[in-house]
């Protein structure tokens, strides 16, 4: 099939590359000329394992191309995926201006029947909005259909999630239209759910909101464990073995961040309010999440106060491992609060430093390794659970630090092992331990 994907962010670029890899002819379109020029030179705008190799392979084979010319790409395609950003407004409402702009461009280029697919995360009713814009602005009486096909990608494993998703959701106005998407996705041989457009739009938001709820719930339980002297990791294991609950997204830590959960929970709360429903449960989820970084910094202050003469090594800046994405990263909150308290911060991340620098306060010392960050530090804070941090030479870390104290915001270490190595250790939902 000839496919047009509008937007070259995480969703658009990965979607385009995978469809090309499946044998389709794909044009990825973006209005950002600099980004398109970089992609044509093989330079990726994002860090995602395996993406650069997949893009290069399909560009070399002639199945994947990049362009700033939307109308030209639309005319060449049978299916148009809208995969542009839908950031939050200040009030939590989803900003649909980019979606509206693309819909207008599609309307002007419509020359024969097309299937327009909303891949962006959008509130219920956006499919109707896209249809209305195209209907109102199309230059000829040509039929088209609008479909909802939400993505469920996790940054850091986006290619794997696209090739082997748990399910493919297709919200279509008719069975006939749904078959077009079924045919496109058939090579993946994954479970598919066909529903109406409104339900498909809701599935995306409800899924992310539920996962955010699991994260906030276990973090609230972690707070109780700290007060009661229980170990949240044992609680998680006991809960997760229940098939009705499961272990996924049941890790205590600094809370959720990134490009999806924060904005999607806020958007669903806003959508509920527009429909005269007060989503109290979800508002509590957001409140609990907002408190996580403050609580972590308070643990550091309690152990090292005052911070005005202290050096804190912060390991991990990206919102999660295997990505350079800094959107709603917990490091932004943790480091800002540490700096406000007077601490000197030495920070390290394997890939996200360039993206982090413009967002963090001045005066941060950026290092080239975890060991360099630990040099002369009074405390070491784990903020992102990169795998390399799990396998550090802890003797070398201890020798580098001024005081061997670890504050583990992701519970990546086993407390007794760290204690035996000579560290004081503070984690989430577990008793602090001190060396003998």
Cα torsion angle, 368, 371, 376, 379, sign: positive
pLDDT at 46 (0 to 100): 87
pLDDT tens track for 310-326: 999 999 999 999 999 99
Helix axes 10-21, 51-60, angle to 10 degrees: 50
**SS3 for 61?**
coil
Q: Of 84, 81, 109, whose CA–CA distance to 98 is shortest?
A: 84
Do the two domains 2-195 and 196-436 of this chain adopt the same fold?
Answer: yes
Domain segments of the chain as ranges? 2-195, 196-436
Residues of the chain whose pLDDT is less than 50?
none
pLDDT at 154 (0 to 100): 86
Cis peptide before 306 (omega within 30 of 0): yes
CATH of 196-436, one of 3.20.20.140, 3.20.20.10, 3.40.50.1220, 3.40.50.720: 3.40.50.720
**SS3 for 138?**
coil
Fold of 2-195: Rossmann fold (3.40.50)
pLDDT at 318 (0 to 100): 96
pLDDT tens track for 171-219: 999 999 999 999 999 999 999 999 999 999 999 999 999 999 999 999 9
Active site includes 28?
A: no
Q: What share of the chain is helix, strand, coil (3-state, %, to 5)?
A: 45, 15, 40
**SS3 for 195?**
strand
Is-contact 146 165, C-beta < 8 A? no
Residues 6+ apart with CB under 8 A from 6: 12, 29, 30, 70, 73, 80, 81, 82, 83, 84, 102, 105
CA distance 413 to 303: 19
């Amino acid at each position: 099939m000839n496919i047009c994907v509008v937007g070259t962010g995480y969703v658009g670029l990965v979607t385009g590359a995978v469809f090309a890899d499946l044998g389709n002819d794909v044009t990825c379109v973006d209005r950002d000329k600099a980004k398109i020029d970089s992609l044509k030179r093989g330079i990726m705008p994002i860090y995602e394992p395996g993406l650069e190799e997949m893009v290069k392979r399909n560009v070399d084979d002639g199945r994947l191309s990049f362009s700033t010319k939307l109308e030209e790409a639309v005319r060449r395609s049978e299916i148009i995926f809208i995969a542009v950003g839908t950031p939050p407004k200040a009030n939590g409402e989803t900003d649909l201006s980019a979606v509206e702009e693309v819909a207008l461009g599609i309307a002007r280029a419509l020359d024969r029947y097309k299937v327009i697919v909303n891949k962006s995360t959008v509130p219920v009713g956006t499919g109707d909005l896209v249809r209305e814009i195209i209907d109102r602005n199309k230059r000829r009486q040509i039929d088209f259909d609008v479909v909802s096909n939400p993505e469920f990608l996790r940054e850091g494993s986006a290619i794997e999630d696209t090739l082997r998703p748990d399910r493919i959701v297709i919200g279509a106005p008719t069975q006939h239209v749904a078959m077009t998407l079924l045919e496109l996705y058939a090579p993946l041989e994954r479970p598919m759910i066909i529903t109406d457009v409104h339900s498909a739009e809701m599935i995306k938001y409800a899924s992310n909101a539920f996962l955010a709820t699991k994260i906030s719930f276990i973090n609230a339980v972690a707070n109780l464990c700290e007060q009661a002297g229980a170990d949240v990791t044992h609680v998680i294991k006991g809960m997760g073995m229940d098939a009705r609950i499961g272990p996924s997204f049941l890790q205590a830590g600094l809370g959720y961040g990134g490009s999806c959960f924060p904005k999607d929970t806020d958007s669903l709360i806003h959508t509920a309010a527009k429909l005269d429903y007060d989503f109290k449960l979800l508002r509590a989820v957001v409140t609990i999440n907002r408190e996580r970084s403050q609580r972590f910094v308070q643990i550091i202050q309690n152990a090292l106060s005052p911070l005005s003469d202290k050096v804190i090594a912060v390991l991990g800046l990206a919102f999660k491992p295997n990505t350079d994405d800094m959107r709603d990263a917990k490091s932004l909150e943790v480091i800002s609060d540490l700096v406000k308290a007077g601490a000197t911060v030495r920070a390290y991340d394997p890939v996200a430093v360039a993206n982090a620098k413009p967002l963090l306060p001045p005066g941060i010392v950026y290092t080239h390794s975890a060991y360099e960050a630990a040099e002369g530090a009074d405390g070491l804070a784990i903020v992102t659970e990169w795998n390399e941090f799990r396998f550090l030479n802890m003797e070398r870390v201890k020798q580098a630090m001024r005081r061997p104290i670890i504050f583990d915001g992701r519970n990546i270490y086993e407390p007794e092992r760290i204690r035996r190595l000579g560290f004081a250790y503070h984690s989430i939902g577990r008793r602090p331990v001190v060396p003998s």
